[in-house]
Amino acid sequence: MMKMVIAVVNSDDSNAVMRALTKNGYSATKLATTGGFLMMGNTTFLIGIDEDKVDDVISLISSHSKKRKQVMPAATSYGVGMYDPLPIEVTVGGASIFVMDIERFEKV
């Protein structure tokens, strides 16, 4: 059975992920995307593969998508129209990976 792996990766890691996938013989479609929570750049990979290759692809993505801490301003409201940006530390990077069954897959 064919699977679709959808991996959302931090843009800083996207080139390393793509190189690893290509080096290991996997084709991927690479889409520039934006995360909703931090509004930061991401890359979404669409990878159609055989079911027995899923763990290998997830391992490649995981090993090239590193989590890291980043300080970001967070606006705190002190009344009408008054904001004081307080920096907060957030974890960015890593990957969100979805695996779905594919009914039909063709390369033409």
pLDDT digits 0-9 by tens, 75-89:
555 555 555 567 776
Residue type, 100: M
The type of residue at 52 is D
CATH number at residue 67: 3.30.70.120
Predicted TM-score (pTM) of this structure: 0.76
Q: What is the DSSP letter of 8?
A: E
Contact 2, 94 (CB under 8 A): no
9 occurs within a structural domain: yes
Q: What is the pLDDT of residue 33?
A: 87
Whether the CB-CB separation of 31 and 44 falls below 8 Å is answered with: yes
Adjacent-strand bridge partners of 45: 7, 30
Residue 64 lies in a domain: yes
Phi, psi of 54 (to 5 degrees): -60, -50
